[in-house]
Structure 1
Amino acid sequence: MAETERENIRESTLEGLDTAARKGKHGVRPPVITDDMFHTVLRRRAPGESVEPIQPDLIIPTGKRKGQNPSVASIYRALAEHSKREAYPKAIEQAHVDFASLQNRRRPPAPQPDAAALSSWP
């Protein structure tokens, strides 16, 4: 009986997730660090200021922790995600170059028709 109940809960959960996905909701928690806060962090870190003195000046604008300061870990996490996004386009470009060079090495040159054969073509 408990197994049947567990299966019913599982099915209803999956149905709820599917319904939410069709509505465009994917269950992602909103970020603690907003774009404005992140730009403040970037601006203050540019001259070399560390994260610890910046953290008390940031205030979470919405959600359960509204009015509180984000954790230092959240700020570092946002900075790490930013650096990954900055590095990603360069990695894609390099992957395309590498792939093209591999394709050129593997592919034998296409046979070129000689001029005499083309001139006799009707």
Structure 2
Amino acid sequence: MFCPQCKSEYRVGFTRCSDCGVALVDWLPPEPPQLGESLAELVVVRTYPNRFEADVAKTALDAAGIESMLRSDDYGGRGPNLTLTQGIEILVRTEDARDADAILSIDLTGANSGYLPE
């Protein structure tokens, strides 16, 4: 038996929480995942005009061992190139932002804009 308010556990036979006075339940509902903290650690390193370019960038970061995610307002990216979308953002952890920026700055010839990760 559990108190749904303070989450104290009771032996079978008790019906009310001695601290809260609330009726006990057989089990507690699962805790919702804490997404706020992990999202606060993410920063946008680039914004791409289409899903293809964003996927290529994400693949480059994955190959370098940098976890990333895409965020977009294009609802799947399969429609025609409409100007209604604001682009597809690629996000990484704050501590990976500098390395991710350096990797994404390398063009197809292998040239870069300066910084190379160690």
> Would you call these one fold, judging by a TM-score over 0.5?
no
Greater RCO between the two (CA within 8 Å, min separation 6)? 2
For the superposition of Structure 1 and Structure 2, which TM-score range results when normalised by the shorter chain?
Answer: under 0.3
**In proportion to residue count, which structure has more helix?**
1
Q: Looking at CA atoms only, which structure, 1 or 2, has the larger radius of gyration? A: 1
**In proportion to residue count, which structure has more strand?**
2
Name the TM-score, length of structure 1 as normaliser.
Answer: 0.26
